[in-house]
Amino acid sequence: MVATTTAISSVSDNFLQYRGYRIEELVGKAEYEEVAYLLLNGDLPNKNELRDFKAELTKHRTLSPFLREILRQMSESGTPMDVLRTVISASAVEDPGEGDNSHEAEYRKAIRLTAKLPTVLATYIRRRRGEQPVTPDPTLGHAANFARMAGLDEAHPRAAEILNACFILQAEHGLNASTFAARITAATLADMHAAVTAGLSALKGPLHGGATDGTMKMLDEIGTTEHVDTWVAKAIASKYKFSGFGHRVYKTEDPRAKFLRKFAQDLARDWKGPKYFDIQEALVAAIAKARPSMSPAAAEKVNIVNVDYYAATTYTFLGIPADLGTSIFAVGRMAGWCAHIMEQHGDNRLIRPESEYTGPTGKRWVPIAER
């Protein structure tokens, strides 16, 4: 069912566009900042607009002492998505536009949130390794600055380039679960911080944003390419849920996956650990071979590999632990969430879907002594 209309993105089988630009026109060509501007403003920036937009993002990267203290305390035991959700929610109390849902105020909030989330995540990554946070570098772009703050540029020279592409690929994807959660929250006229927090909460769920972690666990369980066929047979028999496979919209190909597969393939050449990419390729082939013997419902769930499948190994090869995959996803998606919240508030109508009642009827009150 169509829940709303949007001018932000369009998703259909093997097709994804942002504001009229197919994803193939953006990945490998644009900077993430250009795509964030596109989502928030409706078209790509010119040179001066991009310069000013970057300057605003750079100005708002630094975290306040209040947010740094929350991070310091949470980083000892908090999970990545719990930390992001809590810090972003807490940032509302110090935002100068809190309570103002006008377009101008929300645009400024969108810039602040997009700028701060990489700093929050990078600080968490450093702290859980027992390291001190690194301050943002105003000379670096969005992806390169995050790679430096998180120490990823030291692990791989292509980290900034690949993360820039990943952020673009994950920036927006229509009315998915987290975006719908954000729009439902925004439709109550809750402010942007509340709506983004709802989006982060929905993204935490393994059926939406957690497939990168699940994919790496699956590949580790398989172990080697020689074990793939036997493992797949047992997995199908036990109705195992294959991480990184299947999509509700994409039936023949996820247009984002081909970019990440190329990254994973290239990075695998210098990887010294397990042959993850080879296992992935063998697993794709084995599942494709087994699909005709599956039930239609089971076959539908493994119809394609989705964006998370090769994102998992791409991140691993860049030195990013598997449990951080969803939070990396959130860094890219922030601009998309903010664009949807602004669109919702711009022409708001409360989202109140109906439900079909399936419970009992006609019951009568019985006094407590007779129950």
Lowest mean pLDDT among 121-125, 205-209, 339-343, 357-361: 205-209
Whether 109 shows a pLDDT value over 80: the answer reads yes
Over the stretch 279-306, which tens digit does the pLDDT of each residue have?
Answer: 999 999 999 999 999 999 999 999 999 9
Computed on alpha carbons and rounded to an integer, the radius of gyration of the chain in Å comes to 22
Distances in Å between the Cα of 148 and the Cα atoms of 140, 258, 306, 318, 321 are 9, 26, 28, 13, 16
Residue type, 260: L
Contacts of 167 (CB under 8 A, 6+ apart): 32, 35, 142, 143, 331, 332
Other residues' Cβ atoms within 10 Å of the Cβ of residue 271: 16
Largest Cα–Cα distance in the chain? 78
Over the stretch 238-252, which tens digit does the pLDDT of each residue have?
Answer: 999 999 999 989 999
Catalogue the active-site residues: 247, 308
User: Would you say 110 and 99 are in contact if contact means Cβ atoms under 8 Å apart?
Assistant: no
Contacts of 214 (CB under 8 A, 6+ apart): 206, 243, 244
Q: What is the CATH number of domain 211-317?
A: 1.10.230.10
Domain boundaries, the chain: 18-205+323-346, 211-317
Looking at per-residue confidence, does 248 or 10 come out higher? 10
Identify which of 60, 64, 54 has the alpha carbon closest to the alpha carbon of residue 139: 54
Over the stretch 248-283, which tens digit does the pLDDT of each residue have?
Answer: 899 999 999 999 999 999 999 999 999 999 999 999
Q: How far apart are CA 302 and CA 241, in angstroms?
A: 9
Coil/strand/helix, residue 12: strand
Whether 1 shows a pLDDT value over 80: the answer reads no
- The arithmetic mean of pLDDT across residues 70-89, rounded, is 94
- The arithmetic mean of pLDDT across residues 11-30, rounded, is 97
Pairing of strands 9-12, 21-22: unpaired
Over the stretch 190-245, which tens digit does the pLDDT of each residue have?
Answer: 999 999 999 999 999 887 877 888 999 999 999 999 999 999 999 999 999 999 99
**What backbone phi and psi angles, to 5 degrees, belong to 136?**
-60, 150
Cα separation of the two ends of the chain: 43
Over the stretch 153-163, which tens digit does the pLDDT of each residue have?
Answer: 877 889 999 99
Q: What is the CATH number of domain 18-205+323-346?
A: 1.10.580.10
Looking at per-residue confidence, does 295 or 115 come out higher? 115
Identify which of 80, 300, 318, 143 has the alpha carbon closest to the alpha carbon of residue 216: 318
Q: How far apart are CA 57 and CA 210, in angstroms?
A: 28
Does the pTM of the predicted model rise above 0.85? yes
**What backbone phi and psi angles, to 5 degrees, belong to 22?**
-65, 150
**What backbone phi and psi angles, to 5 degrees, belong to 23?**
-60, -30
> pLDDT-based confidence at 4, cuts 50/70/90?
confident
Average pLDDT, the chain: 95
- The arithmetic mean of pLDDT across residues 47-61, rounded, is 98
